[in-house]
Structures are given as C-alpha cells and as structure tokens.
Amino acid sequence: MATHDYRIDFPILNPQNNDKPIIYLDTACQSLRPRQVIEAMNRYYTKFPACSGRSNHQLAATVTRLMDEARQQMARFLGASRMEEIVFTRNTTEAINLVANAYDFQTGDTVLIGGKEHNSNLIPWQMLVKRRGIHLKILPPLSDGSFDLPGFEQAISGGVKLVSFGYTSNLDGVTLPVEQIIKLAHKRGALVMLDAAQAAPQRKVNVRALDVDFLALSGHKILGPSGTGVLYGKYKLLDAMNPFMVGGDTVATSTYETCEFLPVPEKYEAGLQDYAGVIGLGEAARYLQAVGFDAIQKQELLLNKIMTEGTIDMQGLHLIGPADPALRSGIFTFYIDGIDSHRIALMLDQMANICVRSGQHCVHSWFNANGIKGSVRASAYFYNTEEEAELFVENLIKIRKVL
C-alpha cells in the first residue's frame, strides 16, 4: 500500500468533504487526524462517557480498560519496558515542564540544551535558572544546522546534571545522533531527556534501545488529538521524583495534614484526564505503526527532494538547515531576501490553498541569535503527494517572480 493511499482516511483530504482541496504542508505544527482516531474519540463520547479508575459502574470499567490499553499501546510505541513509565500529559511542553519542576534540581546544577530548541525546551530551564539557581548551558549547532559532537563532548565535561535536546528539530528537520549523545552523557553521569515531538511522527523510537532517561512527545504531531502528550521516564527516576501538579487522582488517601501519593504514573496525572484524547492517542499510535516508519521516511524524503530541488536556483532563497533533504526529514524551511515570510505563507494559502507555517516557529532564540526575521516552513508527511509538493514549488516560483 503506497503511503498516499492512506489519504482516504483523512477527512479533510477527501474531496467529498472539502470543496476547496487543501494542500496541508504544516504537519510539523500539527498532523492531520485519520477517521480511525476521530471515531475512537467519538466512541468515548457516545458510548461510554465516564470516568476512569474512580467509579465502579460498567461505563467506568470500559474507560479504565481503554485507558490502560492506550497506555500499553504507547509503551509499545516507544518500546518502554513497562506501561507505568508512560505518563499522559497535555503535550510535549507539559511533559518537559513536569521533569523541570519534579526532578530535584539543586542550586548550581547544570542543564545543557541545544542552540535551536523549541521554546518548550528552553523556557522551563530559564525559569529554573531564576527559581532554583541552576546553570543553563547552550550548545549551538554547526553552521549547517548539524549537531556539534566534539562541542558536546567538551560541554559535558564540566559536570552536567541533565542534557535536554530536541531529537528532531522543528526548525530545520535535522535529527540528532541521539545514540552517541546518550552514551556520552551517561558516561559523564548526566541524565538525558529528548524532546521527540518532531521525531516520533517520522521514526521508530525505542527508549530501551536508546537508554534515554526521559522522552516527551505530543499527540497532535503523531496523528493524535490535540491536548494529548506523553512523558516517558525510567521507572526508577519517575518513582523518585515528587509530583509537579497535585490534587484529584494523584493520591491514595489524605488527611487534613498530609496525603499518600499513588504510584507512578498516577501521581503525575492530576485531575480528570482527557479520556477521549488518550483513547484517540492510542488509536493514533496503532495507525502510525500500521503505516510504518520506513514508508513514512521514504515518502518524506521524496517530497522534500522535490521541494528542495525545485527551488535550488531561486534567487535570494536561503534554506535553513543542511542542503541534503535526506537530513531534514519532511521539513523544508527557508526565507527569501526582502520578502516577509508571512506574506509568502498567506499568498500560498490564497493562491492554491497551500497551508505552510511562517514566522519563527517557537524558536525565537535561534532567529534572534542569527539576526533572521522569520522563515517559511513547509513540512510534508506521508499523506502528501508528489503533485502537492510540485504545486508548492510552482506557486513559490510564481511568488518569487512577482515579489
């Protein structure tokens, strides 16, 4: 089955549901959802709209079972050794905040992050600098956007508590050599957290094989519902940490003075959860595994190649990241001298219903450090076709000619 044969599962891509055919090249922001995910969520709302784990009636029992299945599904998806290592969050940002706030960082501890991190993996640490007096070290990428391994070795030599990197960059699609990073970090006694928001949609992630300590991802980037995410953490580490948000569903019992927390993962999942979302997330993981990551990567490369080669000679166009599309997953980020990135995005939308992202893509720090105002990001996925990538190129050329 060719990857774009799956298009039929995505309602917005189905011409019968949309009189204005959309070319969706903004998957790095949020992926589309197949009907299987939507139906799984609808089933919750229509057939068993109840609480999980609290009530004893038949509806609650169904939800509890499906929540467990979703957790099991996510554990399999990430290759976790036990389902308790999967904590459901609202998104990657919340997962990283959970670690930043729940892990016992002390004054003087050092956290090392990359130079083109999403704000989600920057601001929580900046807050810790202010609140707990940690040191925040930044490791800039090389000029082509690739990872500076020698620089990393040098950076961790000074004693680092935690290394937190974006696995695949949402800015330029570059994937880090995480196996080497984790080995080197562990050798120096540092924990490693990966922001896998962009990696999880396009490559098989095996947390056990990687031996990563924490890993965060968002449901909305892996065909799942928005408002869902996962924090994977090694059981030992999660068990040792104190919960970040507390309240309902995090405790076994309480008195007026104290409380007894539930074990991992419940102690991190405060309040009533997004049951429909989590069930949908489990379905999304199942769907993605059925498509297969090899096929996804193959299609992403094909599309990125069309976009890259089609615009290679465009006057004033600057590609962000390495020239080789094979190193940028499905992401094609660029800016054109003298042309506002928002204008390009809006024009693509007006001209051919091409949805791309423009601006600084939540990586303001990198743009400010490099003196670049903004960029356009086209991010293709397995449900995009070669014709769509060609149309993107065709319209971009037209814009360049006019502006």
Partner 1 sequence: MFCIVAAVVLSILGIFSAANRRLAKEALDCVFRRITFRPCNTGFDEKMKAKILGKMINRSEGTARFLNKNFEVLAWIFFVLMLVSSVFLVRSLYLFYTTGSCNGANDAGFCVFDPTGEHNETSSTAEGACPVPANITDEGGGLTLNGVDLNLWPVKNTESEDQFIFIGCYSCDYTRKVYPDIRRLVDEFQPEFFFGEYPTKLKTDYLSRIGYCVYNQDQEKYWHMNDAFFAQDIAFLEDVSATHAILTNLGLDADDIEACAAEPETEEEVQNLFEEIRNTNFYGTPTIFINGEPLVGPKPFRVYAIQLEGLFYWLK
> Annotated active-site positions, please?
362
Report the alpha-carbon distance of residue 24 to residue 10 in Å, rounded: 11
The only residue of 82, 187, 236, 342 in contact with partner 1, by rule CB under 8 A: 342
Query: Which residues pair with residue 378 across a beta bridge?
Result: 332
In angstroms, what is the minimal distance from the CB of 399 to partner 1? 7
Which of residues 186 and 343 has its CB atom nearest to partner 1 in the complex?
A: 343
Does position 348 interact with partner 1 (CB under 8 A)? The reply is yes
Give buried/exposed letters for 283-297 (b at 16+ CB in 10 A, else e): bbbbbbeebebeebb
Q: Which stretch binds partner 1 (CB under 8 A): 51-59, 69-77, 296-304, 349-357?
A: 349-357
Which of residues 8 and 346 has its CB atom nearest to partner 1 in the complex?
A: 346
How would you class 371 by CB atoms within 10 Å of its CB: exposed for 0-12, middle for 13-18, buried for 19 or more?
exposed
For every residue of 14-59, DSSP letters joined together read: -GGG-SS--EE-BTTT-----HHHHHHHHHHHHH----SSS--SHH
Report the alpha-carbon distance of residue 277 to residue 297 in Å, rounded: 26
Which of residues 72 and 353 has its CB atom nearest to partner 1 in the complex?
A: 353
Asked if 125 and 111 count as a contact pair (C-beta separation under 8 A), the reply is yes
The only residue of 350, 370, 373, 394 in contact with partner 1, by rule CB under 8 A: 350
Report the alpha-carbon distance of residue 139 to residue 125 in Å, rounded: 14
Q: Is the peptide bond before 34 cis (omega within 30 degrees of 0)?
A: no
Which residue bears the tokens 């102690």?
Answer: 267
The only residue of 129, 290, 326, 346 in contact with partner 1, by rule CB under 8 A: 346
Does position 205 interact with partner 1 (CB under 8 A)? The reply is no
Does position 340 interact with partner 1 (CB under 8 A)? The reply is yes
The only residue of 188, 343, 364, 400 in contact with partner 1, by rule CB under 8 A: 343
In angstroms, what is the minimal distance from the CB of 346 to partner 1? 3
Does position 130 interact with partner 1 (CB under 8 A)? The reply is no
Does position 288 interact with partner 1 (CB under 8 A)? The reply is no
Does position 403 interact with partner 1 (CB under 8 A)? The reply is yes
Does position 347 interact with partner 1 (CB under 8 A)? The reply is yes
Amino acid identity for residue 43 in this structure = R
In angstroms, what is the minimal distance from the CB of 367 to partner 1? 16
Does position 402 interact with partner 1 (CB under 8 A)? The reply is yes
The count of C-alpha atoms lying within 13 angstroms of the C-alpha of 161, restricted to the half-sphere facing its C-beta, is 16
Report the alpha-carbon distance of residue 202 to residue 321 in Å, rounded: 18
Q: Which stretch binds partner 1 (CB under 8 A): 37-45, 50-58, 268-276, 340-348?
A: 340-348
Q: What are the tokens at 333?
A: 């980020």
Angle at 315 between CA 313 and CA 321, to 5 degrees: 70
Does position 78 interact with partner 1 (CB under 8 A)? The reply is no
Asked if 110 and 132 count as a contact pair (C-beta separation under 8 A), the reply is no
Q: How far is CA 13 from CA 37, 224, 305, in A?
A: 15, 16, 22
In angstroms, what is the minimal distance from the CB of 396 to partner 1? 12
Number of residues that bind partner 1 (CB under 8 A): 16
The only residue of 61, 262, 327, 399 in contact with partner 1, by rule CB under 8 A: 399
In angstroms, what is the minimal distance from the CB of 391 to partner 1? 12
**x/- string (CB under 8 A) for partner 1, residues 131-170?**
----------------------------------------
Residues of the shown chain interacting with partner 1 in the complex, contacts defined by CB under 8 A: 340, 342-351, 398-399, 401-403
